[in-house]
């Protein structure tokens, strides 16, 4: 394992802590992490985070340059490529020279014709149900990544995985708060209109949820929208 400078470890820890405390915007926090990875991993010129989802396809979460996003678009088009394989196969993928690597032929052809990228290194970041993520390093020259690159890439993948977990927890917490507020508002409407207590109001929401085969929060949102429709826009 290479001994990377203590300042890198301190910087990574500080960036993850900023994301955790909410003192840095989430997207900016991830961008800072990938910029640091691009600076410190030997051979790396560009870095990106790819998200792969069975329903929503392949997207770029953060990138240091337009090339990572371009290569993700190619992977989305053909549903193949090293970043997708790293995400779905829980693996570390390394393309030493795209000119001679034929594992993903359609992806290879498009990348060679549309970009100068010749080396790719991809690490699995997270697996969250149907959604997977990968941290990807790119270089324009072949054989850009050595063993030290791989080992440092793994270090950054670990830290970014931690930051990503924090971001996801924050999103889930905010979503839970929003859902609770909607349900509370709908319960209040039912209690006032039908003169029932909070327990019975929630039971009514649950019954409506079962009858309509919808989530309780969706039923609550529909009730609120029916009671307080948005104002019509006049031309």
Fold of 173-227: Arc Repressor Mutant, subunit A (1.10.10)
Q: Report the alpha-carbon distance of residue 123 to residue 30 in Å, rounded.
A: 16
218, 158, 169: which is closest to 19 by C-alpha? 169
pTM score, two decimals?
0.66
Q: Report the alpha-carbon distance of residue 57 to residue 87 in Å, rounded.
A: 12
Please, are residues 64 and 46 in contact by the beta-carbon 8 Å criterion?
A: yes
Identify the pLDDT of residue 169: 61
Identify the pLDDT of residue 192: 83
Q: Report the alpha-carbon distance of residue 155 to residue 1 in Å, rounded.
A: 10
Q: Report the alpha-carbon distance of residue 121 to residue 182 in Å, rounded.
A: 44
pLDDT in tens, the chain (235 residues): 444 444 554 554 555 455 444 443 445 567 888 888 999 999 999 999 998 888 888 999 889 999 999 999 999 999 999 988 988 887 899 999 999 999 999 999 999 999 999 999 999 987 777 888 899 999 999 999 999 999 999 989 988 887 777 666 655 656 666 777 788 888 888 888 888 888 888 888 888 888 888 888 888 888 888 777 665 554 4
Q: What CATH number should be reported for the domain whose range is 46-140? A: 3.30.450.40
* Region label for 79, one of left (φ > 0), alpha (ψ between -120 and 50) or beta (otherwise): left
Every domain range in the chain assigned CATH 3.30.450.40: 46-140
Helix axes 26-40, 6-21, angle to 10 degrees: 170
Every domain range in the chain assigned CATH 1.10.10.10: 173-227
18 Cβ contact list (under 8 Å, min separation 6): 24, 29, 32
């Amino acid at each position: 394992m290479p001994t990377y400078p203590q300042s890198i470890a301190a910087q990574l820890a500080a960036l993850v802590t900023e994301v955790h405390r909410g003192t840095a915007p989430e997207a900016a926090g991830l961008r800072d992490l990938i910029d640091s990875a691009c600076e410190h991993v030997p051979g790396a010129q560009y870095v990106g985070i790819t998200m792969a989802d069975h329903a929503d396809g392949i997207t770029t979460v953060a990138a240091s340059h337009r090339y990572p996003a371009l290569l993700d678009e190619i992977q989305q088009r053909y549903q193949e490529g090293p970043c997708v394989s790293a995400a779905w196969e829980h693996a570390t993928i390394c393309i030493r020279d795209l000119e001679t690597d034929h594992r993903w032929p359609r992806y290879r052809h498009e990348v060679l014709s549309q970009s100068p990228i010749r080396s790719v290194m991809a690490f699995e970041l997270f697996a969250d149900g149907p959604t997977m993520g990968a941290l990807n390093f790119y270089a324009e020259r072949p054989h850009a990544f050595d063993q030290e690159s791989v080992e440092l890439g793994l270090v950054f993948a670990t830290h970014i995985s931690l930051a990503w977990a924090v971001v996801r927890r924050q999103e889930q917490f905010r979503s839970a708060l929003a859902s609770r507020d909607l349900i509370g508002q709908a319960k209040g409407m039912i209690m006032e209109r039908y003169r029932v207590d909070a327990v019975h109001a929630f039971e009514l929401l649950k019954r409506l949820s079962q009858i309509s085969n919808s989530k309780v929060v969706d039923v609550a949102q529909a009730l609120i929208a029916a009671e307080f429709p948005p104002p019509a826009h006049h031309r």
